Structure 1
Amino acid sequence: MSLRLIEIYVDAGHSDTLAAIAEQQEAVDCYVGAVAEDGRQTVRILVSPSNQQAILDQIQTALSGSDGWRVVLLPVEAALPEPPKSEGKKILPSSKTATREELLSDIRTGTRMDRAYLMLTFLSTIVAAIGLLNDNVAVLIG
């Protein structure tokens, strides 16, 4: 089971709300850190893939009216002791669950217009033009 750790850096007044969200969504574990000198607190929630998106959505809804908060989603390599497996739900080992934020981050990374992208586009345009001028379908397709 690939667990995720959600770290939330937030003002101290929101920690009870975040702990309640974790309990409501049946998170594996929840830890509320001590209040720092600047009045902020760290809340760590260990979640399974099946409920990570629901927890992230509720956290964003709860904190949307305040400033100065940050949510960090981290993959967990190992956790001991292993969380109890739910009897009713079966998750295939090969299935992966990605959150909306992870997908958006991957899309942003893949759609950047950098030097390599522009160079490959330019070269493929030249190859296609040569294929059209020589009436050669193989060059045009390749």
Structure 2
Amino acid sequence: FLLQELDKQATQGYLSQENHYETKAVIDIGTNSCRLYIAEWSPKEHKIIKHLYQEVQIVQLGEKVNETKFLQESAIKRTLDCLIHYQNIIKQYACSTIYCFATSATRDAHNREYFIQKVLKNIGIQIHCIPGETEAEYNFRGVSLAIDG
């Protein structure tokens, strides 16, 4: 959903080479998948100017969260492995900023702070767990952008 919104912004114009831009990464940690998106960003124009990289991995972080209300260790490990892989790619692109968001599975888990701190300690990436209303808004925007083309 976040990636679709960023995609739309990237098609809305071209930034000339004389302007400054930053390379930024967005990681979206969902219930089933973990997405990485890297793009060049124009701070001056507040938009994406060039798509650089995109990847999706199935991590199933939300495995059994509905039943147990806890993230499973095996799911946390899969997600950590994915994030380590993504961190290596982010380093290759020399990203100035990393935005990392987690949604429903993390938000609903009683051990979400354990997971967030484990990622921060082991990888150095700060996860922001977004509220359900924000997630719904981003999903709506993503679908709207896909329909509007």
TM-score of the two chains, using structure 2 as the length reference:
0.29
Higher strand fraction: Structure 1 or Structure 2?
2
Give the greater-gyration-radius structure (CA). Answer: 1
